[in-house]
Amino acid sequence: MNLKKQDPEIFNIIESEKKRQVEGLEMIASENYVSEAVLEATGSVLTNKYAEGYPGARYYGGCEFIDQAESLAITRLKKLFKCKFANVQPHSGSSANMAAYAALIKPGDKILGQGMDSGGHLTHGAKVSFSGKWFESVSYGLDPETGVLNYDEILKIAKREKPKVIMCGYSAYPRKIDFKKFREIADSVGAYLIADIAHIAGLVATGYHESPIGVADIVTSTTHKTLRGPRSGIIMTNDEELAKKIDKAVFPMLQGGPLEHVIAAKAVAFGEDLLPEYKKYIKQVLVNMKTFAKTLQSFDFDLVTGGTENHLILVDLRNKNLTGVDFQHALEEAGISVNKNGIPNDPNPPKVTSGIRVGTAALTTRGMGETEMKRIAELFNIVAENINNPKVLAKVKKEVKQMTKNFPVPGIKS
């Protein structure tokens, strides 16, 4: 029996979500739209199969086809990032980071990561996360004046704190990361270096950002942000001994059966990412972001670090007398999704914030270009000036809905 007949409640929820995804402008920097082929693999019967272990060494019978799918995912991922070893079993970016730590250190050891209030991720040592509860976590921030990484300051903190692991790679940082500088800092205190490229993985894979492969000891990532795969995680390294430790950390230390339907979908996505079209896509994501950022600046929006070198921007709303939460809600009223985000030294608490984070990866997947980016930046300005005017917000929402009609979402028939 199909879903509509058997469970109309869930069926209708999914239909409503499809409509939301089609009719709105998705500008949350961590989101994207997967292809129809990736959706098909994710929804496949591979979800029925237990496959604890790794290809060729499973704890269950009947894994011959599962092994082929997982081996393909690994081969394609290694080709995509030009790395020697890859584990495709982590269920998410957070699981990947947990396994990376588990491969390197023990509970109680010290880690140094970027604070959440300056663009770091929960798993980089936040006190509410396992990474701050099970490890002794210390943090570095951003230069309060410029909003960029201050490597001299990070070196100072590393020398003072002597962490076992240094974590780099961020959720809301609009500039490039100098992985070699981080390597020097880690070496000078005898620490391991993990690069978490959850956001910029697509840029790294296509050469639009320096690669941490062979520089960091371990590289982790999500697969559902700029890589445009299913919701999941990956771990890479060039060190054979570390590769063995990573495999043991993922299974049996942290996980049981891998999600082989998701692993097959990752293989499909990595296959797409290896095509020349994907490199063109990432290039367009960056062009779109630059155009969007410039147009916003022409309306006197203040961008943290003064601009962007990747797929996202962080907007400081203080000169507009708006909080992040209020602007996020007003944009939502107008059919545009973004998220509130703290800015360096944010005077407002995390539930309010003084900024928003905006990305172009999802809209670019729909085929939008510079013309749309300019208009959408104008719409941001209209919303900012009419935050308490429901009539104007409704008018913008109508225009948004009209605009989206020419840009289909992959896998959704409308």
Ligand X SMILES: *Cc1c(COP(=O)(O)O)cnc(C)c1O
Residues that bind ligand X (CB under 6 A): 30, 92-94, 121, 123, 169-171, 196, 198-199, 222, 233
The residue (of 148 and 403) whose beta carbon lies closer to ligand X is 148
Using an 8 Å Cβ cutoff, are 195 and 236 in contact? no
- The 10 Å CB-count burial string (b at 16+, else e) for 56-72 is eebeeeebeebbebbeb
Residues 6+ apart with CB under 8 A from 292: 313, 358, 360, 373, 374, 376, 377
Least distance (Å) between residue 11 CB and ligand X: 26
The residue (of 121 and 209) whose beta carbon lies closer to ligand X is 121
Least distance (Å) between residue 91 CB and ligand X: 8
Q: How far apart are the first and last CA of the chain?
A: 23
The residue (of 167 and 282) whose beta carbon lies closer to ligand X is 167
Residues 6+ apart with CB under 8 A from 221: 93, 96, 196, 197, 198, 201, 227, 233, 234, 236
Least distance (Å) between residue 123 CB and ligand X: 6
Cα 305 to Cα 88: distance, rounded to the nearest angstrom: 34
The residue (of 169 and 355) whose beta carbon lies closer to ligand X is 169
CA atoms within 13 A on the CB side of 38: 25
Q: What amino acid positions are annotated as catalytic residues?
A: 50, 52, 196, 222, 225, 231
Least distance (Å) between residue 169 CB and ligand X: 5
Amino acid at 331: L
Q: Would you give the DSSP letter of residue 129?
A: S
Q: How large is the angle between the packed helices 260-273 and 64-81, nearest 10 degrees?
A: 40
The residue (of 29 and 376) whose beta carbon lies closer to ligand X is 29
Burial of 100 (0-12, 13-18, 19+ CB in 10 A): buried
Q: What's the gap between Cα 402 and its chain centre?
A: 28
What the block records as the tokens of 9 is 């409640």
Least distance (Å) between residue 173 CB and ligand X: 9
Least distance (Å) between residue 72 CB and ligand X: 22
Tokens 């490229």 identify what position? 197
The residue (of 357 and 397) whose beta carbon lies closer to ligand X is 357
CA atoms within 13 A on the CB side of 331: 27
